[in-house]
Structure 1
Amino acid sequence: MTQTPTIGHVHLKVSNLDRSIAFYRDVLGFEVTQQLGDQAAFLSTGGYHHQIGLNTWMSRGQPPAPKRSPGLFHVAFLYPSRAALAQAVKRVVEAGVLLHGASDHGVSEAVYFADPDGNGIELYRDRIRADWPRDADGNLAMGTAPLDVEALLAEAV
Protein backbone atom coordinates (compact mmCIF):
# COMPACT_ATOMS: atom_id res chain seq x y z
CA MET A 1 0.00 0.00 0.00
CA THR A 2 1.41 3.37 -1.06
CA GLN A 3 1.02 6.18 1.43
CA THR A 4 0.48 9.67 0.09
CA PRO A 5 2.10 12.55 1.95
CA THR A 6 0.19 15.75 2.64
CA ILE A 7 1.53 19.21 3.29
CA GLY A 8 1.47 19.71 7.04
CA HIS A 9 2.43 23.37 7.44
CA VAL A 10 4.32 26.28 5.96
CA HIS A 11 6.92 28.24 7.92
CA LEU A 12 7.51 31.81 6.78
CA LYS A 13 10.33 34.22 7.53
CA VAL A 14 8.84 37.58 8.46
CA SER A 15 10.33 40.95 9.37
CA ASN A 16 7.86 41.96 12.08
CA LEU A 17 6.24 39.19 14.13
CA ASP A 18 3.44 41.27 15.68
CA ARG A 19 2.41 42.65 12.29
CA SER A 20 2.40 39.19 10.74
CA ILE A 21 0.44 37.66 13.61
CA ALA A 22 -2.15 40.42 13.24
CA PHE A 23 -2.44 39.73 9.50
CA TYR A 24 -2.81 35.95 9.73
CA ARG A 25 -5.04 36.15 12.82
CA ASP A 26 -7.23 39.19 12.12
CA VAL A 27 -7.41 39.15 8.32
CA LEU A 28 -7.18 35.44 7.48
CA GLY A 29 -8.82 34.13 10.64
CA PHE A 30 -6.11 31.82 12.00
CA GLU A 31 -5.68 31.35 15.76
CA VAL A 32 -2.37 31.66 17.59
CA THR A 33 -1.62 28.29 19.19
CA GLN A 34 1.81 29.18 20.56
CA GLN A 35 4.14 32.15 20.60
CA LEU A 36 7.86 32.13 21.40
CA GLY A 37 8.39 35.69 22.59
CA ASP A 38 9.14 38.07 19.74
CA GLN A 39 10.84 35.38 17.63
CA ALA A 40 8.19 32.93 16.42
CA ALA A 41 4.49 32.14 16.44
CA PHE A 42 2.40 29.19 15.33
CA LEU A 43 -1.14 29.57 14.00
CA SER A 44 -3.88 27.19 12.94
CA THR A 45 -7.55 26.61 12.31
CA GLY A 46 -9.77 23.91 13.68
CA GLY A 47 -7.64 23.14 16.73
CA TYR A 48 -4.65 21.75 14.80
CA HIS A 49 -1.24 22.48 16.39
CA HIS A 50 -0.20 24.72 13.46
CA GLN A 51 -0.57 25.19 9.75
CA ILE A 52 1.52 28.35 9.68
CA GLY A 53 4.77 29.09 11.44
CA LEU A 54 6.09 32.65 11.47
CA ASN A 55 9.60 33.53 12.57
CA THR A 56 12.06 36.41 12.65
CA TRP A 57 15.16 34.27 13.27
CA MET A 58 16.94 35.44 10.10
CA SER A 59 14.61 38.17 8.87
CA ARG A 60 13.76 40.64 11.65
CA GLY A 61 13.53 44.13 10.18
CA GLN A 62 14.57 43.01 6.71
CA PRO A 63 12.87 44.07 3.45
CA PRO A 64 10.92 41.51 1.40
CA ALA A 65 12.94 39.25 -0.89
CA PRO A 66 13.19 40.46 -4.48
CA LYS A 67 10.23 39.23 -6.55
CA ARG A 68 12.50 37.67 -9.16
CA SER A 69 14.56 35.64 -6.72
CA PRO A 70 14.09 31.94 -5.96
CA GLY A 71 11.78 31.07 -3.11
CA LEU A 72 8.17 30.47 -2.26
CA PHE A 73 5.79 31.61 -5.02
CA HIS A 74 2.75 31.42 -2.77
CA VAL A 75 1.07 29.37 -0.10
CA ALA A 76 -2.51 28.29 -0.84
CA PHE A 77 -5.33 27.90 1.65
CA LEU A 78 -8.17 25.61 0.58
CA TYR A 79 -11.71 26.51 1.64
CA PRO A 80 -14.50 23.90 1.75
CA SER A 81 -17.06 25.87 -0.27
CA ARG A 82 -17.59 28.90 -2.45
CA ALA A 83 -19.43 30.63 0.40
CA ALA A 84 -16.51 30.03 2.79
CA LEU A 85 -14.07 31.36 0.18
CA ALA A 86 -16.30 34.40 -0.32
CA GLN A 87 -16.28 35.11 3.42
CA ALA A 88 -12.49 34.89 3.56
CA VAL A 89 -12.00 37.13 0.53
CA LYS A 90 -14.48 39.63 1.99
CA ARG A 91 -12.33 39.89 5.16
CA VAL A 92 -9.23 40.44 3.02
CA VAL A 93 -10.88 43.16 0.93
CA GLU A 94 -12.38 44.85 4.01
CA ALA A 95 -8.90 44.91 5.59
CA GLY A 96 -7.71 46.98 2.61
CA VAL A 97 -5.40 44.28 1.22
CA LEU A 98 -4.70 44.78 -2.48
CA LEU A 99 -5.69 41.76 -4.58
CA HIS A 100 -3.06 40.77 -7.14
CA GLY A 101 -5.36 38.55 -9.17
CA ALA A 102 -8.39 36.32 -9.26
CA SER A 103 -8.65 33.28 -11.52
CA ASP A 104 -11.01 30.52 -12.50
CA HIS A 105 -8.81 27.51 -13.23
CA GLY A 106 -11.68 25.20 -14.15
CA VAL A 107 -10.85 22.89 -11.26
CA SER A 108 -10.85 25.74 -8.75
CA GLU A 109 -11.49 29.41 -8.12
CA ALA A 110 -8.64 31.40 -6.59
CA VAL A 111 -7.81 34.87 -5.31
CA TYR A 112 -4.22 36.07 -4.94
CA PHE A 113 -2.55 38.74 -2.78
CA ALA A 114 0.50 39.13 -0.51
CA ASP A 115 1.05 39.24 3.22
CA PRO A 116 2.84 42.26 4.79
CA ASP A 117 6.25 40.76 3.93
CA GLY A 118 5.40 40.12 0.29
CA ASN A 119 4.81 36.37 0.71
CA GLY A 120 2.29 35.26 -1.91
CA ILE A 121 -1.09 34.05 -0.62
CA GLU A 122 -3.75 32.14 -2.55
CA LEU A 123 -7.23 31.55 -1.15
CA TYR A 124 -9.16 29.00 -3.20
CA ARG A 125 -11.90 26.43 -3.35
CA ASP A 126 -12.00 23.32 -5.51
CA ARG A 127 -14.92 22.37 -7.67
CA ILE A 128 -16.17 18.80 -7.28
CA ARG A 129 -14.05 16.41 -9.36
CA ALA A 130 -16.93 15.46 -11.63
CA ASP A 131 -16.99 19.10 -12.83
CA TRP A 132 -13.27 19.38 -13.58
CA PRO A 133 -12.61 20.18 -17.25
CA ARG A 134 -11.23 17.35 -19.38
CA ASP A 135 -9.90 17.23 -22.94
CA ALA A 136 -11.13 14.76 -25.57
CA ASP A 137 -8.78 12.08 -24.15
CA GLY A 138 -10.06 12.56 -20.61
CA ASN A 139 -6.92 14.36 -19.39
CA LEU A 140 -7.27 17.21 -16.95
CA ALA A 141 -7.55 20.52 -18.84
CA MET A 142 -6.93 23.28 -16.32
CA GLY A 143 -6.79 26.85 -17.54
CA THR A 144 -6.78 30.41 -16.32
CA ALA A 145 -9.77 32.65 -16.89
CA PRO A 146 -10.72 35.78 -14.98
CA LEU A 147 -12.74 35.22 -11.80
CA ASP A 148 -15.66 37.56 -11.15
CA VAL A 149 -14.70 38.75 -7.66
CA GLU A 150 -17.86 40.83 -7.26
CA ALA A 151 -20.01 37.74 -7.92
CA LEU A 152 -17.90 35.77 -5.46
CA LEU A 153 -18.23 38.46 -2.78
CA ALA A 154 -22.01 38.49 -3.29
CA GLU A 155 -21.99 34.95 -1.85
CA ALA A 156 -20.40 36.03 1.42
CA VAL A 157 -22.91 35.31 4.17
Structure 2
Amino acid sequence: MSSTAIDPQVRIGHVHLKVADLERAIGFYRDILGFQLMQRFGDSAAFLSAGGYHHHIGLNTWESLGGSPPPRGSTGLYHTAILYPDRAALGNALKRLVSAGIRLDGAADHGVSEALYLRDPDQNGVELYRDRPMAEWPRNPDGSLAMVTQPLDLEKLLLEAAA
Protein backbone atom coordinates (compact mmCIF):
# COMPACT_ATOMS: atom_id res chain seq x y z
CA MET A 1 0.00 0.00 0.00
CA SER A 2 1.32 3.42 -0.95
CA SER A 3 1.90 6.01 1.75
CA THR A 4 1.37 8.85 -0.73
CA ALA A 5 -1.47 11.09 0.39
CA ILE A 6 -4.40 11.77 -1.90
CA ASP A 7 -4.17 15.03 -3.87
CA PRO A 8 -5.57 17.81 -1.62
CA GLN A 9 -7.70 19.12 -4.51
CA VAL A 10 -9.78 15.90 -4.65
CA ARG A 11 -13.44 16.48 -3.78
CA ILE A 12 -16.49 14.26 -3.50
CA GLY A 13 -18.51 15.31 -6.50
CA HIS A 14 -22.02 13.93 -6.08
CA VAL A 15 -24.20 11.39 -4.34
CA HIS A 16 -26.58 9.02 -6.10
CA LEU A 17 -29.46 7.73 -3.97
CA LYS A 18 -31.79 4.79 -4.45
CA VAL A 19 -35.34 5.98 -3.73
CA ALA A 20 -38.74 4.31 -3.59
CA ASP A 21 -40.73 7.12 -5.24
CA LEU A 22 -38.95 9.42 -7.69
CA GLU A 23 -41.56 12.20 -7.66
CA ARG A 24 -41.58 12.32 -3.85
CA ALA A 25 -37.77 12.47 -3.76
CA ILE A 26 -37.63 15.19 -6.43
CA GLY A 27 -40.20 17.16 -4.44
CA PHE A 28 -38.00 17.05 -1.34
CA TYR A 29 -34.67 17.91 -2.96
CA ARG A 30 -36.11 20.48 -5.42
CA ASP A 31 -39.07 22.04 -3.63
CA ILE A 32 -37.88 21.93 -0.01
CA LEU A 33 -34.08 22.08 -0.20
CA GLY A 34 -34.09 24.18 -3.38
CA PHE A 35 -31.92 22.16 -5.78
CA GLN A 36 -32.56 22.65 -9.51
CA LEU A 37 -33.79 19.70 -11.58
CA MET A 38 -31.22 19.39 -14.37
CA GLN A 39 -32.32 16.25 -16.20
CA ARG A 40 -34.69 13.32 -15.98
CA PHE A 41 -34.41 9.84 -17.42
CA GLY A 42 -38.10 9.05 -17.85
CA ASP A 43 -39.76 8.04 -14.61
CA SER A 44 -36.74 6.20 -13.19
CA ALA A 45 -33.97 8.76 -12.56
CA ALA A 46 -33.37 12.47 -12.02
CA PHE A 47 -30.34 14.68 -11.55
CA LEU A 48 -30.39 17.85 -9.43
CA SER A 49 -27.84 20.55 -8.70
CA ALA A 50 -27.02 23.86 -7.12
CA GLY A 51 -25.79 26.61 -9.42
CA GLY A 52 -26.26 24.81 -12.74
CA TYR A 53 -23.66 22.06 -12.20
CA HIS A 54 -24.56 18.85 -14.07
CA HIS A 55 -25.59 17.21 -10.79
CA HIS A 56 -24.85 17.07 -7.12
CA ILE A 57 -27.65 14.63 -6.36
CA GLY A 58 -28.76 11.71 -8.49
CA LEU A 59 -32.00 9.93 -7.64
CA ASN A 60 -33.11 6.61 -9.11
CA THR A 61 -35.61 3.80 -8.69
CA TRP A 62 -33.65 1.25 -10.76
CA GLU A 63 -33.33 -1.20 -7.84
CA SER A 64 -35.62 0.41 -5.30
CA LEU A 65 -39.03 1.30 -6.82
CA GLY A 66 -41.59 0.95 -4.04
CA GLY A 67 -38.87 -0.28 -1.68
CA SER A 68 -38.43 0.33 2.00
CA PRO A 69 -35.53 1.93 3.87
CA PRO A 70 -32.79 -0.37 5.16
CA PRO A 71 -33.52 -1.60 8.68
CA ARG A 72 -31.67 -0.18 11.68
CA GLY A 73 -28.51 -2.09 12.38
CA SER A 74 -27.63 -2.52 8.71
CA THR A 75 -24.75 -0.98 6.82
CA GLY A 76 -25.07 1.77 4.24
CA LEU A 77 -24.85 5.50 3.84
CA TYR A 78 -25.11 7.32 7.18
CA HIS A 79 -25.90 10.69 5.62
CA THR A 80 -25.31 12.96 2.67
CA ALA A 81 -23.66 16.19 3.79
CA ILE A 82 -24.58 19.34 1.87
CA LEU A 83 -22.18 22.24 2.44
CA TYR A 84 -23.63 25.76 2.51
CA PRO A 85 -21.36 28.76 1.81
CA ASP A 86 -22.14 30.72 4.97
CA ARG A 87 -24.31 31.02 8.06
CA ALA A 88 -27.00 33.11 6.32
CA ALA A 89 -27.44 30.42 3.65
CA LEU A 90 -27.70 27.73 6.33
CA GLY A 91 -30.26 29.90 8.12
CA ASN A 92 -32.25 30.10 4.88
CA ALA A 93 -32.15 26.31 4.60
CA LEU A 94 -33.50 26.02 8.15
CA LYS A 95 -36.25 28.51 7.30
CA ARG A 96 -37.26 26.34 4.30
CA LEU A 97 -37.36 23.23 6.51
CA VAL A 98 -39.49 24.95 9.13
CA SER A 99 -41.88 26.27 6.46
CA ALA A 100 -42.24 22.76 5.01
CA GLY A 101 -42.83 21.19 8.43
CA ILE A 102 -39.71 19.02 8.17
CA ARG A 103 -38.62 17.68 11.56
CA LEU A 104 -34.95 17.82 12.46
CA ASP A 105 -33.24 14.76 13.94
CA GLY A 106 -30.74 17.12 15.55
CA ALA A 107 -28.66 20.25 15.27
CA ALA A 108 -25.11 20.71 16.49
CA ASP A 109 -22.20 23.08 16.72
CA HIS A 110 -19.06 21.02 16.12
CA GLY A 111 -16.60 23.88 16.56
CA VAL A 112 -15.40 23.45 12.97
CA SER A 113 -18.95 23.56 11.57
CA GLU A 114 -22.61 24.03 12.36
CA ALA A 115 -25.00 21.32 11.22
CA LEU A 116 -28.66 20.43 10.85
CA TYR A 117 -29.58 16.73 10.68
CA LEU A 118 -32.74 15.36 9.09
CA ARG A 119 -34.11 12.57 6.90
CA ASP A 120 -35.36 12.67 3.34
CA PRO A 121 -38.65 10.96 2.41
CA ASP A 122 -36.80 7.63 1.94
CA GLN A 123 -35.24 7.94 5.40
CA ASN A 124 -31.77 8.69 4.00
CA GLY A 125 -29.81 10.82 6.45
CA VAL A 126 -29.14 14.40 5.33
CA GLU A 127 -26.76 16.86 6.96
CA LEU A 128 -27.02 20.55 6.01
CA TYR A 129 -23.97 22.40 7.31
CA ARG A 130 -21.59 25.30 7.01
CA ASP A 131 -17.90 25.26 7.84
CA ARG A 132 -16.27 27.92 9.94
CA PRO A 133 -13.06 29.41 8.52
CA MET A 134 -10.11 27.12 9.29
CA ALA A 135 -8.47 29.84 11.40
CA GLU A 136 -11.45 29.58 13.82
CA TRP A 137 -11.35 25.80 14.24
CA PRO A 138 -10.76 24.71 17.84
CA ARG A 139 -7.37 23.11 18.36
CA ASN A 140 -5.66 21.10 21.07
CA PRO A 141 -2.28 22.31 22.38
CA ASP A 142 -0.54 19.93 19.93
CA GLY A 143 -2.39 21.53 16.98
CA SER A 144 -4.78 18.64 16.35
CA LEU A 145 -8.49 19.34 15.91
CA ALA A 146 -10.64 19.60 19.03
CA MET A 147 -14.07 19.06 17.49
CA VAL A 148 -17.06 19.11 19.83
CA THR A 149 -20.77 18.39 19.71
CA GLN A 150 -22.69 21.20 21.39
CA PRO A 151 -26.25 22.44 20.90
CA LEU A 152 -26.83 24.77 17.96
CA ASP A 153 -29.00 27.82 18.67
CA LEU A 154 -31.67 27.43 15.98
CA GLU A 155 -33.48 30.67 16.84
CA LYS A 156 -30.26 32.65 16.37
CA LEU A 157 -29.56 30.80 13.12
CA LEU A 158 -33.03 31.72 11.81
CA LEU A 159 -32.37 35.38 12.68
CA GLU A 160 -29.24 35.29 10.50
CA ALA A 161 -31.14 34.01 7.46
CA ALA A 162 -30.91 36.42 4.55
CA ALA A 163 -34.04 38.49 4.11
CA distance in 1, matches of 2:35, 2:71: 27
CA distance in 2, matches of 1:106, 1:27: 27
Q: Indicate the residue corresponding to 2:95 in structure 1.
A: 90
1:142 aligns with 2:125: no
Which amino acid in the other structure matches residue 7 of structure 1? Answer: I
2:59 counterpart SS class: strand
Shift of 1:3: 2.8
Among 52, 64, 68, the residue aligned to 1:47:
52
Shift of 1:86: 0.3
What TM-score results when the alignment is normalised by the length of structure 1?
0.97
Which amino acid in the other structure matches residue 57 of structure 2? Answer: I
Q: Indicate the residue corresponding to 1:3 in structure 2.
A: 7
CA distance in 1, matches of 2:57, 2:140: 36
What TM-score results when the alignment is normalised by the length of structure 2?
0.93
Q: Deviations over 1:89-147 (max 9, x none)?
A: 11012111110000000000000000000000000001111110001111111010111
How do residues 1-157 of structure 1 correspond to structure 2 at under 5 angstroms?
A: 3-4=7-8, 5-157=10-162
How many corresponding residue pairs?
157
What root-mean-square deviation, in Å, do the aligned CA atoms of Structure 1 and Structure 2 show? 1.2
1:135 counterpart SS class: coil
CA distance in 2, matches of 1:3, 1:105: 26
Q: Which runs of 5+ in 1 are unaligned?
A: none
Shift of 1:155: 1.1
Q: Which runs of 5+ in 2 are unaligned?
A: 1-5
